[in-house]
Amino acid sequence: MSDQNVRNAGFTSSGIAGGSLASSMMSQEARASGGGVHSGGPTSTLQEMGARGSTHSSGFTSSGISRGSQASQMMSQEARTHGGGTPRGGTTSTVQSI
């Protein structure tokens, strides 16, 4: 995942850009959860990366998730929570796709 992709999606150091994919994700996630965006969810995870301005250490790469990385820990935790698999539209798959 490149820093540019995260910025292009609307996750920036100054917040989520209006009218962007990021704002659409945030709106959808808030509606699904009853009005808020949860810490550790796709929107907050990507915004954290956008605010930092760097995705390189996260472990989400163009060739997959790096072993031993923050991304692999997220994927493992999400898989345990969902009975062994990472759900489509979940944090790991959303962040990896971007």
Whether the Cβ atoms of residue 19 and residue 71 lie closer than 8 Å to each other: no
pLDDT tier at 20, thresholds 50, 70, 90: very high
Average pLDDT over residues 27-50: 83
Predicted local confidence at residue 89, as pLDDT: 76
* Helix then strand then coil, % of the chain, to nearest 5: 50, 10, 45
The reported pLDDT for the residue numbered 1 is 53
CB 37 within 8 A of CB 44: yes
Predicted pLDDT of residue 56: 64
* Cα gap 15→33, rounded to integer Å: 21
In the predicted structure, residue 28 carries a pLDDT above the cut 90: no
Average pLDDT over residues 33-62: 80
